[in-house]
Amino acid sequence: MASPKLLPLLLLATSLLCSTPLVAADYAPMTLTVVNNCPFPVWPGIQANSGHEVLEGGGFFLPALSHKSFPAPTHPWSGRIWARTGCTASGAQLHCATGDCGGRLQCGGLGGAAPATLAQVNLHHSGSDQTSYGVSVVDGFNVGLSVTPHEGHGNCPVLACRKNLTETCPGELQLRSPAGSVLACKSGCEAFRTDELCCRNMYNSPRTCRASKYSEFFKRECPQAFTYAHDSPSLTHECSAPRELKVIFCH
C-alpha cells in the first residue's frame, strides 16, 4: 500500500492520465506505386490538398516502362497525381508540353497546367480506413491512366480512362505542338473559358452546372471518369485498407 506522502502524487498522476486526450493510432501501412506503362518517359506530379504534406517532393522522373513505389502516409491524406509529358530541362528548370508545374522537376505543392488527366485519391478516411480514388478529365486529357487497389476489403474496382483521346479529340479542343501533332485534349472550360463551361459564378452548383457537348465527348470515351465539375460517375466503391494503390499511365 502506498504511503500517505505518496498518495497525493499518485492521485495527481492518475488525474493527468485520465484528462490527457488519446492520440489516434496511425493506420496500417500502405504503398503508393506510380507506373509508367507509356513507350515514352513521363514526369509524374503530385499535389496534396490543402493541409496535407507534399509527397516525394511533388514530382520525379519516370522512364518508359518503369515504376516508383513509396510509403503512403499512415494518416488521412488526399491529393492528385498526373503525368507531365514532353519535358525538357534547362539548367534548374524543367519545361513540359503538358502538365507543367511552374517549370519545376519537383512541383513542391503546385498543381499541373491543364490539360492533364488526373488520378484523385483520398486515403484513410472514416472509421473503417476507407480509401477513395477516381480518374478526372475535368481539366482535360493528356495520357490514359488507371487507378488499381490491391488487397483491399469491400468494393475495390479498377477505375480508368484507358483510351488515347488525342486520337479522337474534337478539333476545337486539340492542344497541338509547333509541329502540328496533337499533344492533349482540352476541356470545354480550358478551350472557351466561359462561366457555363467552367461551372463558375451563377453556374457553380449541382443545379446549374450541367454536362456540355464537350464533357459528353469525354464521358462517351471514358464513362468511369469525372468529366465536369459536378459530375457524378455511376460506378461507386467502398474500399477499405488496401495494401497498395497503383496509378498506371498509358494503361
CA distance 227 to 41: 26
What is the predicted pLDDT for the residue at 127?
79
What is the predicted pLDDT for the residue at 236?
67
- Give the global pTM: 0.88
What is the predicted pLDDT for the residue at 3?
45
User: How many CB atoms are closer than 10 A to CB 86?
Assistant: 19
- Write down the domain spans for the chain: 30-163+223-249
pLDDT (tens digit per residue) in 111-155: 999 999 999 999 999 878 999 999 999 999 999 999 999 999 999
pLDDT band at 5 (very low <50, low <70, confident <90, very high): very low
Q: Which long-range contacts (CB under 8 A, 24 or more apart) does 4-12 make?
A: none
Contacting residues for 236 by C-beta, under 8 A, at least 6 apart: 155
pLDDT (tens digit per residue) in 17-54: 343 333 345 898 999 999 999 999 999 999 999 999 99
What is the predicted pLDDT for the residue at 126?
82
**Superfamily for 30-163+223-249?**
Thaumatin (2.60.110.10)
pLDDT (tens digit per residue) in 147-191: 999 999 999 999 999 999 999 999 999 999 999 999 999 999 999
Q: 45 with 56: CB under 8 angstroms? A: no
What is the predicted pLDDT for the residue at 175?
98
Does the structure show a pLDDT above 50 at 8? no
What is the predicted pLDDT for the residue at 7?
36
Question: Each residue of 180-207: b (16+ CB within 10 Å) or e?
Answer: eebbbbbbbbbbeeeebbbbeeebeeee
* Nearest to 222, CA basis, from 155, 150, 142: 142
CA distance 226 to 183: 21
Does the structure show a pLDDT above 60 at 204? yes
